[in-house]
A and B are shown apart, each in its own frame.
Chain A
Amino acid sequence: MAKKPIQFQLNGSSKSVFVEEGQNLLEVLRREVGDLTPKLGCAQGACGSCTVLIDGEQIVSCLTLAETVEGASVETAAGLANGPTLHALQEAFMDGFAAQCGFCTPGMLVSAKALLDKNPSPSRGDVIEAISGNLCRCTGYEPIIDAILAAAGNGHNSAGRYSGSGRQS
């Protein structure tokens, strides 16, 4: 099958790869680019563990053709931390026991980031809506919802309050 060159931004740095026609973005990110943070949980758009942001929009990468991200900006959980400095959401997930097996966590964090980027002070309902496409079999969701609210400064932990700028400095 003919391979096609594509170029896109991944967490702020430029990537150029050859992709096969019909290859999905999840596979390209994991196998070609080597960003292993998006996880394969179903390949059917059902679980959300492959969630990434494309130009700020929450997308399931398993159902996205890789060639369609040409020129776009892709964000994954690998881009959340700034060097050793964790994102407020990551801190809140650690403090709030919002991960058990950790398999859904990168997708969950990306969905939460998409929410907070648009709405820095979400209600509980907004949070539930934002992660409604992400399945978690371990936590029962409540600690995740609480952690996202905490990161936004609506919970008990306002130390790492989300600045709304995408990255914590």
Chain B
Amino acid sequence: MIEFRKDIFADERDDNLNEIGKPTRRQDILGHVTGRSPFYDDHQFEGLLHLKCLRSPHHHARIRSIDTKPAEQMPGVHRIIQGSDVKVNLNTLLSLMNFGEDDEPVLSDKKVSYVGEPILAVVAETERQAFDAIAKIRVDYEVLPHVLDPEEALQPNAPLVNETMPGNAFPYHEKYNHQKLRFGDVEAAFAQADHIVEDRYQMSPIEQAPIEMCGAIAAPETNDRFVCYTSTQALFFSLGTAAKVLDVPSNRLHFIGGTVGGGFGGKVDSLHEPLAILGCMLTGRAVRYAFDRQEEMQVGAPRGAERWYIKDAVMNDGRITARKFTGYFDVGAYTRLSSYAIIKAAGHLPGPYTIPNVYADIYCVYTNRTPATAMRGFGITGVDFAIESHMDQIAHKLGMNPIELRLINSYMDGDMKAHRREAKNTALVECMQVAAEKSGWNIAPDFKAMSSHNGGEGWRSEIPHTVTDTNGQIGNGVPASTVRPATTSIPAYVPSQNPSYAAPPAQPARPVSPPTPQSNVQATPTAPPQASAPASSSTPKRPRVSRFSSISGTRRR
């Protein structure tokens, strides 16, 4: 049931919504209920061949030799595809956007870096025959030490997971082993804090688990073109990747997709299309390359594991005056899209709160685990889980109402975010007020009266003094005053109005602060991009305009 709260921000929009709030049938629903929606595997081809991969049984191994002879004679086998058959056998997805080095072979016949990594492919009349042939192939592995934890992977003596990525970290700006955010001076704020609240949060990898498994079918078309039916979520991404890897002009590839049996981010990696098309090129027949369910779960890229350390400076009245993050994204053996997720995460910190001093080091770390990729809220979900869990920890520690704690620290219109963009069109205050009301959660009258319009006063709209280090880069300086006064727009916290919110459930002991990073890659800080014109404190509040667009100043994808 949808309820519209048109009373909120009523003066900012014309009340002329004519689609939102009214159920509208999906345009593809008739196909869905009649079972006629054309999923990629619903395309039938005469003489369809099936492609299956030989996959690594090891986390990490060098391949000394591969003997395919016994498989070549097996019934039904049409072709064995090796790494040398792939024209450009090293790729990274974001190279289409000029971001990152090619680091992942399509078929990895020299070294494998995760369990399930494809080594070669067999194209046969049936999937069964392809599996039978794969069982006959002999691979001589030299098993190498492996690393499965991101913090261990950053140690100087850790095994090198990905030869394109020295130090097991993605190089930001081609030289820094992490993404850095500096805003104000957290150390000075810690020194003046009433409380320091620190903890560690981690999220496991999560499989998208679509009910339709990933796959593609490629078939010869007229005029030396190839048609590819695919489950991809990102048709032009897959087209560009296939054209690059196979070294053919993209106008020779005819991609058909758009009917996706659930994606959730897991169908962007374009693993199937290049191999299905290559199989088709090499055999002249239609070729289907589809994950089975075990491959989908083991090899299909999940949302990666994340570990976050958060340290906050908190005053007795609930103001958070500094927040320091150390984040590790465990991206598995290859980059895929993860380096971009970390940039997104850095732009999101410190969450939807206005905190005058923010510090973050975020590492994109390679381990011998399944490469990670997009999943819903890519780059944001893990750290939001950490931030909101941490907010509750602070509320418990101070014995505060957790909603009021969030309201005290909530960002509002005109506030300066740590990535140096003005917060616009904020609505966190109103969302929390309505959530509290709907759930019968009591908040004090002053907090019920707060408004997102009241931010942007004084220091809240300013970029704080952020000292540069001796290299002229943004570092960790010591400005005079870092604990900012409460602004008039935020009600004071009245403890007596609140029952006790203390005493969180007991938790097992765990490390709360990150180890000192040691790495063989230069860790000199880099400045986050500076917004051109920071709002000055004397600027009158911007006129209220209709609420659209996003906080980051870029369009949402």
Residues of A within 8 A of B28 (CB): 102
Binds A, one of B177-185, B257-265, B339-347, B430-438: B257-265
Q: Does A93 contact B (CB under 8 A)?
A: yes
Give a binary string over A60-87; 1 marks a CB under 8 Å from any B CB, 0 the rest.
Answer: 0000000000000000111011000010
Interface residues of A in 33-59 (CB under 8 A from B): 34, 36-37, 39-44, 46-47, 49
Q: Does B384 contact A (CB under 8 A)?
A: no
Binds B, one of A2-10, A104-112, A122-130, A152-160: A104-112
Contact A37 B35 (CB under 8 A): yes
- Chain A residue with the shortest CB-CB distance to B29: A94
Contact A99 B41 (CB under 8 A): no
Residues of A within 8 A of B37 (CB): 102
Please measure, in the bound complex, the distance between the C-alpha atom of A41 and the C-alpha atom of B290, giving whole angstroms: 11
Contact A101 B35 (CB under 8 A): no
Residues of A within 8 A of B292 (CB): 43
Q: Does B465 contact A (CB under 8 A)?
A: no
Residues of B within 8 A of A34 (CB): 44
Instruction: Provide the main secondary structure of the chain A interface.
Output: loop
Contact A49 B211 (CB under 8 A): yes
- Chain B residue with the shortest CB-CB distance to A96: B23
Q: Report the minimal beta-carbon distance from A53 to chain B, rounded to whole angstroms.
A: 14
Contact A135 B33 (CB under 8 A): no
Q: Does B39 contact A (CB under 8 A)?
A: yes
Residues of B within 8 A of A41 (CB): 211-213, 293
- What is the count of residue pairs linking A and B with beta-carbon distances less than 8 angstroms? 91
Q: A36, A42, A137: which contacts B35 (Cβ < 8 A)?
A: A36
Residues of B within 8 A of A86 (CB): 33-34
Q: Report the minimal beta-carbon distance from B40 to chain A, rounded to whole angstroms.
A: 11
Residues of B within 8 A of A18 (CB): none
Residues of A within 8 A of B464 (CB): none
Contact B261 A39 (CB under 8 A): yes
Contact B33 A101 (CB under 8 A): no
Residue of A41, A76, A77, A86 with most chain B CB atoms under a 10 A cut-off = A41
Q: Report the minimal beta-carbon distance from B257 to chain A, rounded to whole angstroms.
A: 13
Contact A101 B261 (CB under 8 A): yes
Q: Does A136 contact B (CB under 8 A)?
A: yes
Give a binary string over B17-41; 1 marks a CB under 8 Å from any A CB, 0 the rest.
Answer: 0000001011011111111110101
Residue of B26, B209, B212, B260 with most chain A CB atoms under a 10 A cut-off = B212
Residues of B within 8 A of A109 (CB): 33, 35
Residue of B29, B32, B37, B292 with most chain A CB atoms under a 10 A cut-off = B32
- Chain A residue with the shortest CB-CB distance to B31: A102
Q: Report the minimal beta-carbon distance from A113 to chain B, rounded to whole angstroms.
A: 12
Contact A103 B293 (CB under 8 A): no
Please measure, in the bound complex, the distance between the C-alpha atom of A34 and the C-alpha atom of B264, giving whole angstroms: 29
Contact A36 B42 (CB under 8 A): yes
Please measure, in the bound complex, the distance between the C-alpha atom of A80 and the C-alpha atom of B41, giving whole angstroms: 22
Contact A81 B34 (CB under 8 A): yes
Q: A39 and B29 in contact (CB under 8 A), knowing A101-B261, A106-B35?
A: no
Residues of A within 8 A of B26 (CB): 97, 99-100
Q: Does B210 contact A (CB under 8 A)?
A: yes
Q: Report the minimal beta-carbon distance from A103 to chain B, rounded to whole angstroms.
A: 3
Q: Report the minimal beta-carbon distance from A79 to chain B, rounded to whole angstroms.
A: 10
Contact A137 B211 (CB under 8 A): yes
Q: A136 and B211 in contact (CB under 8 A), knowing A31-B44, A40-B41, A102-B261?
A: yes
Please measure, in the bound complex, the distance between the C-alpha atom of A106 and the C-alpha atom of B209, giving whole angstroms: 18
Residues of B within 8 A of A104 (CB): 211
Please measure, in the bound complex, the distance between the C-alpha atom of A44 and the C-alpha atom of B213, giving whole angstroms: 13
Residues of A within 8 A of B41 (CB): 40
- Chain B residue with the shortest CB-CB distance to A48: B211
Please measure, in the bound complex, the distance between the C-alpha atom of A128 and the C-alpha atom of B37, giving whole angstroms: 25
Residues of B within 8 A of A99 (CB): 26, 29, 32-33
Contact A44 B293 (CB under 8 A): yes
Residues of A within 8 A of B42 (CB): 36
Q: Report the minimal beta-carbon distance from B447 to chain A, rounded to whole angstroms.
A: 32
Contact B33 A103 (CB under 8 A): no
Q: Report the minimal beta-carbon distance from A50 to chain B, rounded to whole angstroms.
A: 11
Give a binary string over A115-159; 1 marks a CB under 8 Å from any B CB, 0 the rest.
Answer: 000000000000000000001111000000000000000000000
Contact B262 A138 (CB under 8 A): yes
Contact B261 A103 (CB under 8 A): yes
Contact A39 B212 (CB under 8 A): yes
Q: A103 and B44 in contact (CB under 8 A), knowing A44-B293, A94-B29, A97-B23?
A: no
Please measure, in the bound complex, the distance between the C-alpha atom of A80 and the C-alpha atom of B292, giving whole angstroms: 29
- Chain B residue with the shortest CB-CB distance to A41: B211
Q: Report the minimal beta-carbon distance from A145 to chain B, rounded to whole angstroms.
A: 16
Q: Report the minimal beta-carbon distance from A61 to chain B, rounded to whole angstroms.
A: 13
Contact B211 A135 (CB under 8 A): yes
Contact B39 A94 (CB under 8 A): no
Q: Report the minimal beta-carbon distance from B28 to chain A, rounded to whole angstroms.
A: 7
Please measure, in the bound complex, the distance between the C-alpha atom of A77 and the C-alpha atom of B32, giving whole angstroms: 10
Contact B293 A94 (CB under 8 A): no
Q: A42 and B293 in contact (CB under 8 A), knowing A99-B32, A103-B261?
A: yes
Q: Report the minimal beta-carbon distance from A135 to chain B, rounded to whole angstroms.
A: 6
Please measure, in the bound complex, the distance between the C-alpha atom of A104 and the C-alpha atom of B28, giving whole angstroms: 14
Q: A76, A103, A136: which contacts B39 (Cβ < 8 A)?
A: A103
Interface residues of B in 183-218 (CB under 8 A from A): 209-213
Give a binary string over A87-98; 1 marks a CB under 8 Å from any B CB, 0 the rest.
Answer: 000100110010
Please measure, in the bound complex, the distance between the C-alpha atom of A109 and the C-alpha atom of B292, giving whole angstroms: 24
Q: A39, A78, A90, A137: which contacts B209 (Cβ < 8 A)?
A: A137
Residues of A within 8 A of B30 (CB): 94
Instruction: List 6 other contacts, CB 8 Å, given A86-B34, A102-B37.
Output: A36-B36, A78-B34, A101-B262, A102-B31, A105-B33, A137-B210
Chain A to chain B contacts (Cβ below 8 Å), 13 pairs: A34-B44, A41-B212, A47-B293, A78-B35, A80-B34, A93-B33, A94-B29, A94-B33, A97-B23, A99-B32, A101-B32, A103-B210, A137-B264
- Please list the 10 inter-chain residue pairs (A to B) with the smallest Cβ-Cβ separation, ordered nearest first: A102-B32, A37-B35, A103-B261, A106-B35, A42-B293, A90-B33, A99-B32, A77-B35, A103-B212, A101-B262
Interface residues of B (CB under 8 A from A): 23, 25-26, 28-37, 39, 41-42, 44, 209-213, 259-264, 292-293
